[in-house]
Amino acid sequence: MKILYAASEVAPFAKTGGLADVGAGLPKELAKLGHEVWVIMPRHRSVDDTGIVLEKPSGRVSVHVDSIPVEGQIYETVFPGTEDTSTPARMIFVDNPAYFDRAGVYGESGMDYTDNLERFVFFCRAALQWLKKSDWIPDIIHANDWHSALIPTYLHAETSDIFDNTRTVYTIHNLAYQGLFTKSRYSVLGLPWDLFHLDALEFYDRINLSKGGIIFSNAVTTVSKKHSQEIQTVEFGCGLDGLLKSIGHRLHGILNGCDTDVWNPSTDPHIAQQFDSESFLEGKAENKKALLKEMKLDALDPDVPLFGVVSRLEALKGMDILADTAEKLVDKRAQLVILGTGDSNLEDALQDSAKNLPQNIAVRFVYSEELAHRIFAGSDFFLMPSRFEPCGLSQMYALRYGSIPIVHAVGGLADTVVDITEPNGNGFQFSEPTDTAFLKTCERAFALYAEPRKHRDIIRQAMSFDATWARAAKTYTKLYGNLLG
What residues make contact with ligand ADP under the rule CB under 6 A?
Answer: 17-19, 21, 310-312, 339-341, 367-369, 372, 391-394
Q: By C-beta, is 153 or 416 nearer to ligand ADP?
A: 416
Q: By C-beta, is 223 or 309 nearer to ligand GLC?
A: 223
Distance CA 305, CA 368 (A): 23
Q: By C-beta, is 176 or 447 nearer to ligand GLC?
A: 176
Contact 38, 3 (CB under 8 A): yes
Category of 145 on φ-ψ map: left (φ > 0), alpha (ψ -120 to 50) or beta: left
DSSP state of 338: E
What is the closest distance, in whole angstroms, from the C-beta atom of residue 297 to ligand ADP in the complex? 18
What is the closest distance, in whole angstroms, from the C-beta atom of residue 425 to ligand ADP in the complex? 21
Distance CA 27, CA 89 (A): 8
What is the closest distance, in whole angstroms, from the C-beta atom of residue 55 to ligand GLC in the complex? 32
Q: By C-beta, is 223 or 442 nearer to ligand GLC?
A: 223
Helix (H) or strand (E) holding 113: none
Sign of CA dihedral 90, 116, 19, 233: negative
Q: By C-beta, is 9 or 118 nearer to ligand ADP?
A: 9
Closest CA relative to residue 258, chosen from 485, 412, 37: 412
Q: By C-beta, is 136 or 367 nearer to ligand ADP?
A: 367
Q: By C-beta, is 18 or 42 nearer to ligand ADP?
A: 18
| Residue whose CB is nearest to ligand ADP in the complex, by number | 18
Q: List the single partner that 372 binds among ligand GLC, ligand ADP, none, CB under 5 to 8 Å by kind.
A: ligand ADP
- Beta strand ranges found along 43-131 (DSSP E): 59-65, 68-78, 90-95, 107-108, 111-112
Q: List the single partner that 394 binds among ligand ADP, ligand GLC, none, CB under 5 to 8 Å by kind.
A: ligand ADP
Helix (H) or strand (E) holding 407: strand 404-408
What is the closest distance, in whole angstroms, from the C-beta atom of residue 207 to ligand ADP in the complex? 24
Q: List the single partner that 306 binds among ligand GLC, ligand ADP, none, CB under 5 to 8 Å by kind.
A: none
The string of DSSP letters for 207-249 reads EEHHHHHHHHSSEEEESSHHHHHHTTSTTTSTT-HHHHHHTGG
Q: By C-beta, is 96 or 256 nearer to ligand GLC?
A: 256
Distance CA 19, CA 5 (A): 12
What is the closest distance, in whole angstroms, from the C-beta atom of residue 376 to ligand GLC in the complex? 15
Q: List the single partner that 283 binds among ligand ADP, ligand GLC, none, CB under 5 to 8 Å by kind.
A: none
Maximum distance among all Cα pairs of the chain, rounded to whole angstroms:
72
Q: List the single partner that 223 binds among ligand ADP, ligand GLC, none, CB under 5 to 8 Å by kind.
A: ligand GLC
Q: List the single partner that 22 binds among ligand GLC, ligand ADP, none, CB under 5 to 8 Å by kind.
A: ligand GLC
What is the closest distance, in whole angstroms, from the C-beta atom of residue 263 to ligand GLC in the complex? 13
Distance of CA 315 to the CA centre of its chain: 17
Question: Exposed, middle or buried by CB within 10 Å (0-12, 13-18, 19+), for 257?
Answer: buried
User: Within a 10 A sphere around the Cβ of 51, how many other Cβ atoms?
Assistant: 6
Closest CA relative to residue 163, chosen from 128, 214, 126, 120: 128
Closest CA relative to residue 258, chosen from 401, 105, 455: 401
Q: By C-beta, is 363 or 410 nearer to ligand GLC?
A: 410
Q: List the single partner that 268 binds among ligand GLC, ligand ADP, none, CB under 5 to 8 Å by kind.
A: none
Q: List the single partner that 339 binds among ligand ADP, ligand GLC, none, CB under 5 to 8 Å by kind.
A: ligand ADP
Q: What residues make contact with ligand GLC under the rule CB under 6 A?
A: 17-19, 22, 173-174, 223, 256, 389-393, 412
What is the closest distance, in whole angstroms, from the C-beta atom of residue 368 to ligand ADP in the complex? 5
Question: Exposed, middle or buried by CB within 10 Å (0-12, 13-18, 19+), for 269?
Answer: exposed
What is the closest distance, in whole angstroms, from the C-beta atom of residue 413 to ligand GLC in the complex? 8
What is the closest distance, in whole angstroms, from the C-beta atom of residue 311 to ligand ADP in the complex? 6
Distance CA 72, CA 345 (A): 39
Q: By C-beta, is 153 or 394 nearer to ligand ADP?
A: 394
Measured CA angle at 177 (ends 317, 12), to 5 deg: 75
What is the closest distance, in whole angstroms, from the C-beta atom of residue 18 to ligand ADP in the complex? 2
Q: List the single partner that 341 binds among ligand ADP, ligand GLC, none, CB under 5 to 8 Å by kind.
A: ligand ADP
What is the closest distance, in whole angstroms, from the C-beta atom of residue 445 to ligand GLC in the complex? 22
Closest CA relative to residue 5, chosen from 89, 112, 106, 129: 89
Contact 117, 123 (CB under 8 A): no
Q: List the single partner that 369 binds among ligand ADP, ligand GLC, none, CB under 5 to 8 Å by kind.
A: ligand ADP
Distance of CA 311 to the CA centre of its chain: 11
Q: By C-beta, is 396 or 448 nearer to ligand GLC?
A: 396
Pairing relation of β-strands 335-342 and 306-313? parallel
Q: By C-beta, is 312 or 474 nearer to ligand ADP?
A: 312
What is the closest distance, in whole angstroms, from the C-beta atom of residue 314 to ligand ADP in the complex? 9
